[in-house]
Structure formats: structure tokens, C-alpha cells
């Protein structure tokens, strides 16, 4: 499949990849200091308000979270559940494929 290089042992490779992920995650916070990280919904409301000041939304939410923290928590929870399902499916498919090989 692939050549194993002696200089890329698995723990070192994992540490390197983890370091890259941390750098990529933290870089925008340092490069864009003072930037406002808002969601696209908030940005869309602002643009619509600028284009048409008298616009009235035709739909309202059934339930508003009590705070921004709860809203963020629900968003992260939704992403985690989705990632869990995707990871489970990939693992299940891989296990099924390996079982068929045997």
C-alpha cells in the first residue's frame, strides 16, 4: 500500500497532525484580532435591513433559546451527533468490508 518511513513513526505523525489542527484553529483568532465572528443568519438580517428597511419577516421561530450560549451549545451538539453518525457509518462500512474479505 504505502512505504513506511522510519522518520514518520505513528506517535510523531499524530503529534504533528494535532499541532497542525491547533494552529489552523487558532490562527484566525490571532490574524483577525477584533473581528466579529457572527453567524450567517445575523449577517443576512443586517444586509436585508440595509437593502429594505421596511422588510418584515414572514416566519418566526417556534422557540428561541434563552441565550447565545444555549444556542451555541445546541449547534455544537447537533454537529457532534452528526459527526458521530458519520463516524459510525464509516466504521461500520469498513468493518463490513473487512468481514467480507475474510
Cell of 13: 505523525
36 CB burial (10 A radius; 0-12, 13-18, 19+)? exposed
Q: Is residue 65 part of a domain?
A: yes
Confidence tier at 8 by pLDDT (50, 70, 90): low
Q: Which residues contact 74 (CB under 8 A, 6 or more apart)?
A: 65
Total domains in the chain come to: 1
90: domain range?
10-42+61-100
4 confidence band (pLDDT: 50, 70, 90) = low
Question: Would 51 be classed as within a structural domain?
Answer: no
pLDDT of residue 17: 92
pLDDT of residue 42: 78
41 vs 65, higher pLDDT: 65
Residue 54 lies in a domain: no
Is residue 52 domain-resident?
A: no
Amino acid at each position: 500500500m504505502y512505504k513506511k518511513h522510519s522518520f514518520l513513526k505513528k506517535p510523531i505523525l499524530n503529534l504533528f497532525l494535532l499541532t497542525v489542527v491547533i494552529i489552523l484553529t487558532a490562527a484566525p483568532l490571532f490574524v483577525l484580532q477584533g473581528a466579529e465572528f457572527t453567524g450567517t443568519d445575523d449577517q443576512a438580517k443586517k444586509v436585508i435591513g440595509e437593502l429594505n428597511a421596511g422588510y418584515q419577516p414572514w416566519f418566526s421561530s417556534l422557540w428561541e433559546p434563552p441565550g447565545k450560549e444555549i444556542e451555541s451549545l445546541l449547534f455544537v451538539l447537533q454537529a457532534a451527533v452528526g459527526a458521530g453518525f458519520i463516524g459510525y457509518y464509516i466504521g461500520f462500512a469498513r468493518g463490513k468490508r473487512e468481514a467480507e474479505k475474510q
